[in-house]
Structure 1
Amino acid sequence: MAAGSQTCFEGIAIQNFYVFLEQSKQHEILLPHLHDILLPEFERIGAGKSSLDVLGVGSGAGEMDVEMLSLLQSVFPAVPITADIVEGSIQLTDSFKALVAKMASLQKISFAWHIMSSEDYEKQVKAQEEMKKFDFIHMIHVVYYFENLDEALRFHHSLLKNNGRLLIVVTAASSGWVPLWKTCLIKELCAGTDIDKPKVTSGDVTACLKSQGLKYDEYVFPNSFDITECFNPDSTTGESLFSFMTSRSHLSQSFTPDIRAGILDVLRNKSSTIKDGRVFFNSTFSCIVVHA
């Protein structure tokens, strides 16, 4: 794909994202939960299989993918594995490839890279005479970007093999993200942009799954992280974190001081708890495992 046709954020937006990951410890917190959930699932999925096929949707730089693939390898060390990766960011895909290159065990896995949006991947797959099926598909904090959640879930579920599983990690309906997204200030800030769209939570995902008659298991994990730096106007870390949380690349150029003050009020009083003078954002999340 040509650089000009990238379909996801690059540059400073990615820098802000990594500040968010560092401050929230999102991957470190999620990983042990995924291990506990996926180990028995992998044992069921791979039982008696001569090969295993995995699809990662919105895999980013691959930090979580390599952990899940390594776990799958540890359960079935002699079984060949393929991994198809759908990611719209060229920069993140390059980071993923570099990570794979550093891990000797992953050299045994056959990777196929699809640098495109999930919608474009769907069109590409449907244009083929025979659709590749997968034993395991994962979507970690990516359902927010689907143009049509119901259709996206229906399509990806159709790609599962018998006994396959679809893993969805998504913001819980009870999290502090919800009042942040729903505030009228955010709507004013984001009016006329792609950000000014309804945000997806676990409640939206499970509603779609129920309407499609799909069987699933949901695991909710309470979590929080310190966002006190967001309230320090001189903190570069706080600026980057605040920018990511409000979906703006250059926060200081995006709104008036009054709007900023309003958003901070929502973060402090509706999305967080205060402990020892520090502000802890409620980032509760859900892991949803959908059966084939």
Structure 2
Amino acid sequence: MAAETNKQSMYEGSEVQSFQFYLQHSGEHAAVLRFFREYLPGEFKRIAADKSNLAVLGVGSGGGELDVQMLSLLQSVCPTLPISADVVEGSTELVANFKALVAKTDNLEKIPFTWHVMLSEDYKKQVKDVKKYDFIHMIQMIYYVDNLTETIKFYRSCLNKNGRLMIIVEKAGDGWDLLWRTFSKQLCNESNITYRSSGDVLASVKTLGLQYEEHSIPNTFDITECFDPNSETGQRLLRFMTATEDFSRSFTPQIRADMLKFLRSKCSAEKEGKVYFNSCLSCISVHA
């Protein structure tokens, strides 16, 4: 998964629809939620020890589907502690979706939200008196920052004692990483697109000398229809996976054939006539 590195969020209008279509077919959020239920209760108990309140920051939170689940889980783990939530998100459309989701989610009316409708880069520059947080999460958003190491350094500096910065990103060496690094010339040059995986995050974390833990989030999804040029579902998935307007027109016939062959042979596994894309994620938890 990648993103344009200019100052505009890619998730407005048709891009929101493309992203939501991908989520419906990939099972990515379901995989992340399974991980949350296993991993976060223990983390939240440790973070909350000796605290009188808890402050959470979501950076690049999109439509808030994962945020509301995390906040509800935090409430269940720490029912007596007041919780506040700040959100940094550059897409006005997704912020509106997030607010609507909050309004219909039980118990979240108890949490005061502060909305920063801007990109992470602008938040770093514009917010002078930066609030301290106990838990900061950056899920599938590191493609949108100019300087990864400086971004991690900044948000880690915003942590309270015993806090955690949780970064979730595509896992190095898995399907997304193999596809985008192998075809970087075709996928990254025309639209000023960058690609990053957990390997890049770990390199930055190690450069900064920070303590961290890494956890794998397994996931696969069916891309069989991507190999049928007449399948609308397949073409829409390929549009998102290659960050192009139209996969069938964006590359030469040879490049398209090479990508499809690579997707099938190197990025996926076949089972019972279906092709399943390896889309594992990595959770990197940086200590305060």
Q: Taking structure 2 as the reference length, what is the TM-score of the superposition?
A: 0.93
Match for residue 86 of structure 1?
Answer: 88
SS state at 2:186 partner: helix
Deviations along 1:160-184, one digit per CA (max 9) or x if unpaired, are 0011011111111121112210224
1:8 touches 1:88 (CA, 8 Å); kept in 2?
A: no
Runs (4+) off by over 6 Å: none
Offset at 1:254? 2.3
Match for residue 273 of structure 1?
Answer: 269
The answer to whether structure 1 residue 220 and structure 2 residue 216 are counterparts is: yes
The amino acid that maps onto 1:30 is: V
Q: 2:233 aligns with which of 206, 228, 237?
A: 237
Q: Taking structure 1 as the reference length, what is the TM-score of the superposition?
A: 0.92
SS state at 2:107 partner: helix
Kindly, what percent of the aligned residue pairs are identical?
54
Match for residue 26 of structure 1?
Answer: 28
Offset at 1:106? 0.4
2:61 touches 2:138 (CA, 8 Å); kept in 1?
A: yes
SS state at 2:20 partner: helix
Match for residue 62 of structure 1?
Answer: 64
Equivalent-residue separation in structure 2 for 1:253 and 1:106 (angstroms): 45
Match for residue 112 of structure 1?
Answer: 114
Offset at 1:6? 5.5
Match for residue 186 of structure 2?
Answer: 188
Offset at 1:189? 4.6
**Count of residues in correspondence between the two structures:** 282
Match for residue 207 of structure 1?
Answer: 203
The amino acid that maps onto 1:221 is: I
Equivalent-residue separation in structure 2 for 1:243 and 1:223 (angstroms): 20
Match for residue 141 of structure 1?
Answer: 140
Question: Structure 2: any 5+ residue segments left out of the alignment?
Answer: 1-6
Equivalent-residue separation in structure 1 for 2:247 and 2:95 (angstroms): 26
2:58 touches 2:86 (CA, 8 Å); kept in 1?
A: yes
The amino acid that maps onto 1:141 is: Q
Distance 1:250 1:113, change over 3 A: farther
2:61 touches 2:89 (CA, 8 Å); kept in 1?
A: yes
Equivalent-residue separation in structure 2 for 1:183 and 1:69 (angstroms): 38
Distance 1:9 1:250, change over 3 A: farther
Equivalent-residue separation in structure 1 for 2:138 and 2:162 (angstroms): 18
Offset at 1:256? 3.2
Equivalent-residue separation in structure 2 for 1:84 and 1:159 (angstroms): 12
Root mean square deviation, CA, Å:
1.6
2:187 touches 2:243 (CA, 8 Å); kept in 1?
A: no
1:172 touches 1:286 (CA, 8 Å); kept in 2?
A: yes
SS state at 2:126 partner: helix
Q: 1:41 aligns with which of 37, 43, 46?
A: 43
Match for residue 123 of structure 1?
Answer: 125
